[in-house]
Structure 1
Amino acid sequence: MSTMETAVQHARVLRRYLDQHHLDVHRLWWSAFQLGGDVGETEIDAYVHECLHLPPAVRGLLVRAAQTAAAASSPPGHAGNPA
């Protein structure tokens, strides 16, 4: 699988995770910002809709941010893992 295909697959998995946990892009952005990320909400929205490719480090941060946001909005032990 190429790097581009991997990035697209990661975006799809993240988008499904957001949908499953009823998280929107704004909540993901806010969580990423709190973790030290500097990617904007518009860029995150474009990424999860496969219109923008982000570097692996940023993708990893978004996964952590999604997990953090899901854990904050879910009962204990139900946050799951988007990867």
Structure 2
Amino acid sequence: MTDETAIASERIDRLASLARDAVRDGYPDRARAYVRRARRVAERHRLRLPRPFERSTCGNCDVFLVHGVNARSRTQSGHVVVTCDCGAQFRYPYD
């Protein structure tokens, strides 16, 4: 990993934590901007977003999902179904 990609990975992690804090503090638009910026950084440096980051963002409205605040999760036949406030649903197998 080069220095440039290491810096980009650190920036993505920092933007993810800022997005999480923004949602918890009641600023969903700010969190959405952080998520979009993190995706742009990953695209620019041809990096894959970390799995925890991918699974905690909505691909439809770009908001950072915090369970109980703007998302709900249910288990269903070997999968976790996460539903965003916008209505988008995401299914993940148990890890």
TM-score range, shorter chain: 0.3 to 0.5
Larger strand share, 1 or 2: 2
Larger Rg: 2
Higher relative contact order structure (alpha carbons within 8 Å, sequence separation ≥ 6): 1
Point out the structure with the larger helix share: 1
TM-score by length of 2: 0.33
